[in-house]
């Protein structure tokens, strides 16, 4: 009885995943065929696991359940830790770029770009992480093993990513300009041309970075499938870190290029062309059975996450010129915490779908402890290369480690809470949690970092004030 029940739970989980990935009108016969294909694929995997699992699928599942916690925790540590290190290095580069860009004339003349940065980075990170989650599911279901299906999934997901990035880029540009008017009314005589400049810069950088990162993520997950690596453990951190670097470079390059044409119709023409591309990519998505329904789904968490992350943009724009190191420390602090929370939320969501049990506290502590060596490597790197021209002493290191641990802990708790709440409300956590989680940790991490810088400067423990460095 127990074996039959376990087998029934696994089959229910597979059928649920197939429905989500097919995104096509219900067809009972076709669904039955696909279910049989998945069962056959599962049987093949059973035969390949070892001699002790060949005789009975019930024995296979029973033994898997017994070994699952230890195996998954070991796999998590082996696969996730290197990806977090790579992600941290990418975030360091992104932070150094942000620290460098704040001295560029285009950012000094248009401070609203600092409001756009966290909004656009959070948005792009969510889009690529959602793509990574979808493609990882397809990989684990074996859908990428067939050439025709793999090509269809790649074309459909890349086209969908273009639609999402173009729409969200336009919204991010206009919203950042509006927030600039609210926070600093009457500054720099804002005009229609400046709004078009912001929107064009956001849309171009979002579209091109989505094309580059989309191809990269698809290739990475296909490679993971061939190397028998679980992409769930590495895809989201890689998408987050590489997305920040590519988007930052493209935004700075686009803004610098359009700076001389700000008061002309060039930006307006670019925005018009970009908007005209949305129906083209939408048509491609609509004709693709794998992603058709996603064309109108998942917009709510993406848009609301942009609104939430805009608060972090306001804080960053307010204090980036007041405290040293804010632009350098922020990406790694909130990026690593968001990656840890996303991994945790994804694992919990998988267990909820599969109706399996896992030692959540052990996984949570494992992820929290993984934060320490990664942050230690980060602190060593910025100290060794004297990045950010910070005053490195005991109080600075101690304060940063406390803030990083607190941010990671909050991210893990938010990820777990949101995943369970959305599941109980009848929503799929895979489509809702990550955007809200990353946007929330953007705000929380920025507040904690600004508060820490202010406290260190006020008490005299470490001078973080920007004016001191400039005067010296």
| 356-411: pLDDT as tens digits | 776 788 888 888 888 889 889 888 888 888 776 777 888 889 999 999 999 999 99
CB atoms within 10 A of CB 149: 14
What pLDDT score does 96 carry? 73
With b for 16 or more beta-carbon neighbours within 10 A and e for fewer, the 233-245 pattern comes to bbbbbbbbbbbbb
**Range with the lowest mean pLDDT among 298-302, 320-324, 468-472?**
468-472
Residue 186: pLDDT band by 50, 70, 90 thresholds?
low
CA-based torsion, 199, 204, 207, 212: positive or negative:
negative
Residue 26: pLDDT band by 50, 70, 90 thresholds?
very low
Mean per-residue pLDDT, 95-100: 74
Does residue 460 contact residue 315 with C-beta atoms inside 8 Å? no
Burial class (CB in 10 A: 0-12, 13-18, 19+), 293: middle
pLDDT for 321 beyond 80: no
Strand partners, 323: 465
Mean per-residue pLDDT, 234-248: 82
What pLDDT score does 48 carry? 41
| 122-133: pLDDT as tens digits | 777 788 887 887
> What are the residue ranges spanned by the domains of the chain?
77-459
Residue 421: pLDDT band by 50, 70, 90 thresholds?
very high
| 53-91: pLDDT as tens digits | 333 333 333 333 444 444 456 677 787 888 888 888 887
* % residues pLDDT > 90 (the chain): 11
What pLDDT score does 284 carry? 92
**Range with the lowest mean pLDDT among 5-19, 152-166, 211-225?**
5-19
Question: What are the distances in angstroms from CA 171 to CA 59, 113, 234, 360, 461?
Answer: 53, 14, 30, 38, 42
| 37-63: pLDDT as tens digits | 444 444 444 434 433 333 333 333 333
Does residue 102 contact residue 46 with C-beta atoms inside 8 Å? no
């Amino acid at each position: 009885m127990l074996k039959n029940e376990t087998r029934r739970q696994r089959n229910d989980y597979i059928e649920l995943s197939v429905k989500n990935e097919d995104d096509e009108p219900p067809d009972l016969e076709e669904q039955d065929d696909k279910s049989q294909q998945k069962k056959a694929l599962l049987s093949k995997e059973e035969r390949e696991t070892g001699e002790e699992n060949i005789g009975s699928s019930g024995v296979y599942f029973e033994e898997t359940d017994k070994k699952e916690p230890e195996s998954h925790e070991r796999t998590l540590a082996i696969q996730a830790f290197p990806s977090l290190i790579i992600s941290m290095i990418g975030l360091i580069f992104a932070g150094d770029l942000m620290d460098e860009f704040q001295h560029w004339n285009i950012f000094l003349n248009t401070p609203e770009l600092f409001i756009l940065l966290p909004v656009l980075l959070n948005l792009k990170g969510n889009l690529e992480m959602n793509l990574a989650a979808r493609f990882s599911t397809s990989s684990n279901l074996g859908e990428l093993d067939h050439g025709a299906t793999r090509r269809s999934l790649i074309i459909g997901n890349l086209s969908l990513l273009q639609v999402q990035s173009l729409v969200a880029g336009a919204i991010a540009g206009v919203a950042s300009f509006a927030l600039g008017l609210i926070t600093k009314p009457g500054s720099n005589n804002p005009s229609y041309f400046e709004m078009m400049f912001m929107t064009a810069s956001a849309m171009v950088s979002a579209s091109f970075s989505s094309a580059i990162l989309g191809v990269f993520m698809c290739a990475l997950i296909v490679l993971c499938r061939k190397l028998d690596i679980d992409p769930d453990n590495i895809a989201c951190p890689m998408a987050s870190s590489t997305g920040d670097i590519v988007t930052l470079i493209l935004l700075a390059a686009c803004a610098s290029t359009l700076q001389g044409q700000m008061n002309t119709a060039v930006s307006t023409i670019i925005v018009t062309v970009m908007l005209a591309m949305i129906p083209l990519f939408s048509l491609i998505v609509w004709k693709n059975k794998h992603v058709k329904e996603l064309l109108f789904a998942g917009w709510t968490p993406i848009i609301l996450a942009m609104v939430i992350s805009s608060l972090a943009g306001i804080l960053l724009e307010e204090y980036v010129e007041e405290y040293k190191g804010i632009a350098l420390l922020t990406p790694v602090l909130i990026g690593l915490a968001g990656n840890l929370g996303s991994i945790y939320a994804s694992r919990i969501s998988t267990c909820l779908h599969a109706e399996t049990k896992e030692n959540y506290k052990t996984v949570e502590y494992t992820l929290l402890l993984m934060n320490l060596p990664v942050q230690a490597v980060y602190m060593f790197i910025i100290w060794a290369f004297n990045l950010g021209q910070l005053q490195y002493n005991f109080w600075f290191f101690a304060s940063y480690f406390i803030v990083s641990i607190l941010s990671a802990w909050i991210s893990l708790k938010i990820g777990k809470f949101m995943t369970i709440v959305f599941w109980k409300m009848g929503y799929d956590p895979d489509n809702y949690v990550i955007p809200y989680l990353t946007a929330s940790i953007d705000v929380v991490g920025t507040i904690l970092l600004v508060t820490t810088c202010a406290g260190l400067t006020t008490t005299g423990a470490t001078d973080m004030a920007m004016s001191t460095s400039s005067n010296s």
